[in-house]
Amino acid sequence: MIVGILGGGQLARMLVLAGIPLGMRFLILDPSPDASGASLGEHIVAAYDDPVALARLAERCDRITYEFENVPAAAAQWLASERRPVHPPPAALAVARDRLREKDLFKDVGIPVAAVEAVEDLYSLQHAAEVVGLPAVLKTRTLGYDGRGQIVIAETEIIEDAWRRLAGVPAVLEAYVAFEREVSVIAVRGAEGRTAFYPLSENVHHDGILVTARSRPDDPQQARAEEYATRLLDALDYRGVLAIEFFEKDGELLANEIAPRVHNSGHWTIEGAVTSQFENHLRAIADLPLGSTSPVGYAAMVNLIGEIPDPTPLLNMPDVHLHVYGKVHRPGRKVGHVTVRAETPERLETLLEDVTGLVGIPL
Amino acid sequence: MIVGILGGGQLARMLVLAGIPLGMRFLILDPSPDASGASLGEHIVAAYDDPVALARLAERCDRITYEFENVPAAAAQWLASERRPVHPPPAALAVARDRLREKDLFKDVGIPVAAVEAVEDLYSLQHAAEVVGLPAVLKTRTLGYDGRGQIVIAETEIIEDAWRRLAGVPAVLEAYVAFEREVSVIAVRGAEGRTAFYPLSENVHHDGILVTARSRPDDPQQARAEEYATRLLDALDYRGVLAIEFFEKDGELLANEIAPRVHNSGHWTIEGAVTSQFENHLRAIADLPLGSTSPVGYAAMVNLIGEIPDPTPLLNMPDVHLHVYGKVHRPGRKVGHVTVRAETPERLETLLEDVTGLVGIPL
């Protein structure tokens, strides 16, 4: 089976590493000639909306998927219209690319969200600030990730300035949630609508970038997160891995956003679950049975941001696993991650403290 | 770091899959244009003794290793003489390629072996049969694997015929061991002579081909196997993974052969150990700390021989993992393997029965 992937970053790279043992081959479309994930498959260097490149993908691939949501939904739709199975469905991509549609979907299926209002101009922003209340977060409707395109508005005086800084693009204003913690659920839906869910991931962000994610087997919010995820998977007639990020506040989960793809907060599943999110995404889109999502011990992931540290002290620790993405190093860029695994949550915390110390990331 | 591999089969493939997350890149020398493991790295299609190809390897690689022992030892020696670190040491390759030198080494370091005599002509074969006793196994000194180049001599009448069938190549005659079981130890020696050992593997062969290998945490022979392995690793000033196969008979281990490389009986380490044999081989040759060889549950490997079965019923089972090698299917050829993992040895046996039934291999 030949699988086409739109996007050739680290997620494509880890998909390929998971798919090769299943006997899959990969064709990767990415405009960057040095896309790190593309080097493991056949690489088509072209824009995501290049009609010749898309036609080649459609012609040669048995299944097509994508590794990030900033590919044009129109490209995914065109591929699907060529009768190539595109998973997850392009409709999920369209929703995930647009914060307003995303929040509307959450509301439609009865998943709690923070108060949110559409913003199209300064006037509607001022109105939204009154409805939502301050502090609030102004976010571009599309193309935001890792905290980009977001401005916190703490008081009415800066509303105008915030709108100017956003350069007038369509946006949403969301109530600022003083959450107790952030969790995500990595869900997967396969052939015949079968679903599976990984143990919740508890995530810590700094400056809008995920720095650590811990597996949380037996989390008290597990059942609720799975229930919400099921509603979304069914509503979207979904196929593949779907990540849903929540804020936990006063015992309730508020949905923040979805990613219709494998997700950074699920990287610990490579060592910390029986079947990784990458393998399960591929199994789902290839009509293969889903693999067990049971945890293997307790696991945590630490992102390597900007540079890869000296691997020796890291690899000297037991059950520490290094994942280098082969990307050019740049400040703020995710260039790899480390997984730590332990038999108990207490032991995991001790190891995690050591790893974050070595990596230079605040725990 | 760029690692050169002599040989581009499934062992190279699994080395590459383990090395990419460590940030390594690979240059693979294999004369076959469709070598399945070579497609994941840069592939030099040339004979193993092609001087231009070897020079290219020497020039570009930081480390050089090999994935099977039938590469010319002279090629490895030449690469080492070009001041490129070649691991495991070419001396180990030379020993492993020659059953007589191999047995001599076992004896030199005090590891028990079955009675064995060198055979150079019909006369010395007849003499050997008297010394060793019958039944015995006549084996070519070099180039034998998976039971090839071996003839069982049960009675004196067939000695002449056996010698003719072997076409007069240098050989050894070994006493036939009616062993109780076959076990192997996967050992690894890294920088500064540090060593680590996986739990013993208990192996079942059919027609000379390995069909199943089970991890045996806490095996009563573990300490003895490690002691023997340590003697070999030290004697060879070894670097990398070394596999040693033993026959168990009357509570003793008799060394059968070594493989100076990652080994089929260690494939279960991908899921069944904290660090796989492939990653540890690469860590060892790259001067990185060795990873933990602790078991993760109980694991077993089932070889897929000749063809890949329908994956759906296999992947429907919990904690079953498929490894397809991407090789052309041919009767008798290893084209993939399946790993099964369980929390108890009893549960493992049940799952293993199901898997071998699906795969069509006798348990």
Q: Which CATH number do you get for residue A169?
A: 3.30.1490.20
Q: Is B328 at the interface with chain A, CB within 8 A?
A: no
In this structure, is residue A109 part of a structural domain?
Answer: no
Residue B65: pLDDT above 90?
A: yes
Do B134 and B154 sit in the same domain of this protein? yes
Residue B201 pLDDT grade (very low, low, confident, very high; cuts 50, 70, 90): very high
Q: What is the pLDDT of residues A244-255, one digit of tens each?
A: 999 999 999 999
Residue B350: pLDDT above 90?
A: yes
Residue A113: pLDDT above 60?
A: yes
The answer to whether the Cβ–Cβ distance between B312 and A322 falls below 8 Å is no
Mean pLDDT of A333-339: 96
Structure tokens given for B216: 């045996």
Distance CA B167, CA B169 (A): 6
Angle formed by the axes of helices A277-285 and A10-19, to 10°?
Answer: 70
Is A23 within 8 Å of B326 (Cβ atoms)?
yes
Q: CA–CA distance from B59 to each of B4, B27, B56, B82, B239 (Å)?
A: 10, 11, 5, 9, 21
In this structure, is residue A93 part of a structural domain?
Answer: no
Do A150 and A21 sit in the same domain of this protein? no
Do A232 and A310 sit in the same domain of this protein? yes
Residue of A288, A323, A341 lying closest to B315 (CB–CB): A288
For chain A, what percent of residues have pLDDT higher than 90?
86
Residue B146: pLDDT above 60?
A: no
- pLDDT at position A145: 55
**Mean of the per-residue pLDDT values of chain B:** 94
Do B244 and B333 sit in the same domain of this protein? yes
Residue B145: pLDDT above 70?
A: no
Do B275 and B350 sit in the same domain of this protein? yes
Q: Is A323 at the interface with chain B, CB within 8 A?
A: yes
Do B204 and B324 sit in the same domain of this protein? yes
Q: Which residues of B touch A283 (CB under 8 A)?
A: 315
The answer to whether the Cβ–Cβ distance between A22 and B274 falls below 8 Å is no
- pLDDT at position A144: 61
Nearest-Cα residue of chain A relative to residue B314 = A289
Q: Is B17 at the interface with chain A, CB within 8 A?
A: yes
The answer to whether the Cβ–Cβ distance between A324 and B21 falls below 8 Å is yes
Q: CA–CA distance from B154 to each of A147, B116, B158 (Å)?
A: 76, 15, 8
Do B171 and B198 sit in the same domain of this protein? no
Q: How many residues appear in chain A? A: 363
Residue A39 pLDDT grade (very low, low, confident, very high; cuts 50, 70, 90): confident
From A277-286, B98-107, B195-204, B352-361, the region with the lowest mean pLDDT: B352-361
Do B123 and B210 sit in the same domain of this protein? no
The answer to whether the Cβ–Cβ distance between A274 and B318 falls below 8 Å is yes
In this structure, is residue A215 part of a structural domain?
Answer: yes
Q: Is B11 at the interface with chain A, CB within 8 A?
A: no
Nearest-Cα residue of chain B relative to residue A342 = B274
In this structure, is residue B101 part of a structural domain?
Answer: no
Residue A147: pLDDT above 80?
A: no
Structure tokens given for B234: 């030290």
CATH of the domain at B192: 3.30.470.20
In this structure, is residue B97 part of a structural domain?
Answer: no
Q: Who contacts B358 (Cβ-Cβ below 8 Å, separation ≥6)?
A: B309, B313, B314
Q: Please tell me what DSSP assigns to residue B273.
A: B
Do B214 and B282 sit in the same domain of this protein? yes
Q: Is A349 at the interface with chain B, CB within 8 A?
A: no
Residue A167 pLDDT grade (very low, low, confident, very high; cuts 50, 70, 90): confident
Q: Is A328 at the interface with chain B, CB within 8 A?
A: no
From A184-188, A236-240, A249-253, B139-143, the region with the lowest mean pLDDT: B139-143
- pLDDT at position B147: 59
Q: How far is B301 from chain A (nearest CA, A)?
A: 14
- pLDDT at position B39: 87
Q: Which residues of A touch B323 (CB under 8 A)?
A: 21
- The boundaries of the domain holding residue A215 are 181-359
- pLDDT at position B171: 94
Q: Which residues of A touch B27 (CB under 8 A)?
A: none
Is B219 within 8 Å of B251 (Cβ atoms)?
no
Q: Who contacts A17 (Cβ-Cβ below 8 Å, separation ≥6)?
A: A40, A278, B17, B20, B21
Final residue belonging to a domain, choices B175, B191, B217: B175
- Give the HSE-up count for residue A144: Cα atoms under 13 Å, Cβ half-sphere: 23
The answer to whether the Cβ–Cβ distance between B308 and A21 falls below 8 Å is no
Work out how many domains chain B is built from and give that number: 3
Entry pTM: 0.96
Q: What is the pLDDT of residues B37-55, one digit of tens each?
A: 988 889 999 999 999 999 9
Residue of A20, A322, A341 lying closest to B22 (CB–CB): A322
Residue A84: pLDDT above 90?
A: no
Residue A146: pLDDT above 60?
A: no
Residue found under tokens 């021989």: B305
Q: How far is A154 from chain B (nearest CA, A)?
A: 42
